[in-house]
């Protein structure tokens, strides 16, 4: 019995019928133990609250007005949500929520087909062929791609994260096209929400795929514009075989899965395009580490980093050329080997 099935058996004692939905179903299908457990049911928030309390459990009500209540089951925080539809007003990301009795309507509001799968007992409900997309490593939106991204522009960033985490090598053309069209709308999303997705992306196994999505769709132009300058930027061929963006991706990918270290790897050459001269020797970039640390300070303010992350990443970028730097071995690994 999987952990999801075990938890499902506990949840259905609280309320029934109830369906496992979203990420926990997706993760079970690919053989990964879920980190979050979400369930949906055809009951009102008041009915869900009553059912939880009737079982002698505490109901967490912070999301009740949107139909979501929490309950703890053997140390796991479980979310129980009423079936709902969402309607977004023009230029507003906060939806009007309507509670419904229809599972299909609830699944229709979700972002990607791989997240629009439900499970009751051992039966899957998959109206948008999400299981097939998982098998073929395909990312598609549920319904109209442009509408999904306009409803919540963070979904464009979530696309990059899922591409990295799940190695989704087949991205629907509409996702590329509409992200290029709507990338500027990421500016309407809070930096805190950006950081949740970016941190998850940076810890993924296939980070290069997600980073390339952010670069090619020009999301980086609006999120970290200094980084966007690295695309196709030719470095001094005396020391480098790769363009700057390819070098940066390789350094990030090779570093251990530590967030501060990976952020430092991503930003270690952030200043290079700003200090380029016509010289052909090493002095081209003599000041880029110092300037890079100053640019990191500005990025840290913009992205609302913690003081700890700000300090650690600034120091690593400032000193990444030093022989005793943690970053230096990873940086040197992808430079041209000279005699």
pLDDT tens digits for range 140-197: 999 999 999 999 999 999 999 999 999 999 999 999 999 999 999 999 999 999 999 9
Q: Is 86 helix (H, G, I), strand (E, B) or coil?
A: strand
Count of positions (residues) in the chain = 339
Mean model confidence pLDDT for the chain:
91
Q: How far is CA 50 from CA 44, 53, 56, 71, 74, in A?
A: 10, 5, 10, 12, 20
In order, the DSSP letters of 129-178 are -HHHHHHTTEE-BSS-HHHHHHH-THHHHHHHHHHHHHT--EE-HHHHHH
Residue 338: band (very low, low, confident or very high) from pLDDT cuts 50, 70, 90:
very low
d(CA 86, CA 145): 16
Q: Looking at residues 198-211, what average pLDDT do you find? A: 96
Query: Pick the residue with more confidence: 88 or 314?
Result: 314
pLDDT score, position 287:
72
Any idea where the domains of the chain sit in the sequence?
A: 1-135, 224-333
Q: Is the pLDDT of residue 5 over 70?
A: yes
More confident site: 236 or 29: 29
Choice among 50-64, 229-243, 321-335 with the minimum mean pLDDT? 229-243
DSSP SS3 for 36: coil
Question: What is the rounded CA–CA span in Å between residue 134 and residue 166?
Answer: 9
pLDDT of 252 higher than 60: yes
Q: Please say if the pLDDT value at position 134 is more than 90.
A: yes
Q: What is the CATH number of domain 1-135?
A: 3.30.460.10
Of all residues in the chain, what percent carry a pLDDT higher than 70?
A: 92
CA distance 134 to 142: 14
pLDDT at 277: 63
Six token digits for residue 90: 């023009």
pLDDT above 70 (res 92): no
Tokens 């230096």 correspond to 328
Please tell me the predicted confidence (pLDDT) of residue 89: 64
State yes or no: pLDDT of 249 exceeds 90.
yes
Give the residue from 160, 146, 229, 154 showing the smallest Cα distance to 191.
Answer: 154
| Span 269-307, pLDDT tens digits | 999 888 876 555 555 555 788 999 999 999 999 999 999
Taking CB atoms within 8 Å and a gap of at least 24, the contacts of 122-125 are 122/5, 124/25, 125/19
pLDDT at 339 over 60: no
**pLDDT in the model for residue 115:** 97
Q: Is the pLDDT of residue 337 over 60?
A: no
This prediction's pTM:
0.92
Give residue 97's pLDDT band: very low, low, confident or very high (50, 70, 90): confident
Strands (E), 240-291: none
pLDDT digits (tens, 9 = 90+) for 101-112: 999 999 999 999
């Amino acid at each position: 019995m999987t952990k999801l099935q075990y938890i499902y058996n506990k949840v259905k004692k609280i309320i029934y019928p109830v369906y496992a939905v979203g990420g926990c179903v997706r993760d079970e299908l690919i053989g990964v133990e879920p980190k979050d457990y979400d369930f949906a049911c055809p009951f009102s928030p008041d009915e869900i609250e009553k059912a939880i309390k009737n079982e002698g459990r505490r109901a967490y009500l912070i999301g009740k007005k949107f139909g979501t209540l929490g309950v703890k089951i053997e140390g796991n925080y479980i979310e129980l949500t009423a079936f709902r539809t969402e309607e977004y007003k023009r230029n507003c990301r906060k939806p009007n929520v309507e509670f419904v009795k229809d599972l299909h309507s609830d699944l229709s509001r979700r972002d990607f087909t791989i997240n629009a799968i439900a499970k009751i007992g051992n039966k899957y409900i998959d109206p948008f062929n999400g299981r097939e997309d998982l098998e073929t490593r395909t990312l598609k939106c549920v319904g109209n791609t442009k509408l999904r991204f306009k409803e919540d522009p963070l979904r464009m960033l979530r696309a990059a994260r899922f591409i990295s985490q799940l190695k989704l090598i087949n991205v629907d053309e509409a996702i590329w096209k509409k992200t290029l069209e709507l990338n500027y709308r990421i500016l309407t999303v809070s930096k805190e929400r950006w950081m949740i997705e970016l941190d998850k992306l940076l810890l993924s196994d296939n980070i290069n795929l997600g980073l390339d999505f952010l670069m090619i769709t020009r999301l980086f132009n609006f999120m970290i514009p200094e980084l966007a300058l690295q695309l196709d930027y030719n470095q001094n061929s005396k020391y480098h075989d790769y363009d700057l963006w390819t070098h940066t991706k390789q350094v990030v990918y090779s570093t251990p899965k530590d967030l501060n270290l990976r952020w430092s790897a991503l930003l270690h050459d952030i200043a290079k395009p700003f200090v380029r001269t016509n010289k052909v020797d090493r002095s081209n970039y003599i000041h880029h580490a110092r300037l890079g640390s100053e640019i990191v300070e500005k990025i840290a303010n913009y992205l609302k980093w913690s003081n700890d992350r700000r300090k650690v990443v600034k120091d690593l970028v400032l000193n990444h050329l030093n022989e005793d730097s943690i970053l230096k071995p990873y940086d040197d690994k992808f430079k041209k080997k000279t005699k």
